[in-house]
Structure 1
Amino acid sequence: MHEWALAESVVKTLKNRKKTVFEAEVIFGTLQDIDEEIFTFALKEILNQEDFKVKIKITKEDAVFECLSCGKIFDLKEGTKDEIEKENIHFLPEMAKVFLKCPSCKAKDFEIKKGRGLSLKLKEK
């Protein structure tokens, strides 16, 4: 149900802008366990209730990591062994530190560079 809370936060952010927002791109990081269908439904419902008109585009941003030991940039596919590990990370992104390791040097000391959380790109008047 956190999709509804996220949708409410997006609408509140759009409404509280000083300039009029006419288009918003909502970017989901693939590390987050966000159900796009539920989020989209919630967002449309809230926008209708608020009588707020804005064009919404939803995109996904793949997770990217940087090894702090050797500097290798890698993705979720390279850093995990199987689908079960990927699924565990999607349900609880903090588990990335347990399951992922650098495909080059095998270190577990890395930084999440992209693909976590939700962000907005706005076009304003």
Structure 2
Amino acid sequence: MAHKSPITTHVLDTTHGVAARGVKVRLEQLSQTASSSSQSWEVLADGETNEDGRCTTLLPGTAADGPHQLRPGVYRLEFHVKEYFEKLERSSFFPFVHVVFEVPEDPNPHYHIPLLLSPYSYSTYRGT
């Protein structure tokens, strides 16, 4: 049995008043090497929004252990918005949108991060 990812997103095209289908999404976690103070982004998953503008399969769980358990840390969702608007034959000021958020020591089981999108602005929030 497949489980919903503990990190999900929903992209809405506020210019057209529709769900943004086909937006590529990348999930990364900030990692720090033990031997130095350097940090880098580790790619955890790539996905794409469905016909409803949702991406719910970034970190699928397994039937044996239940939903994927998040590690505390800093995460980043990268949305490829220029490609989305190019498919609609529209220009966009932002080629990418990065949403950075932190999962605390005692993580909740689910984090939903919607993106409200137009060619020249965006907004995001912690959803449910």
TM-score range, shorter chain: under 0.3
TM-score scaled by structure 2? 0.23
In terms of fraction of residues, the more helix-rich structure is 1
Higher strand share: 2
TM-score by length of 1: 0.24
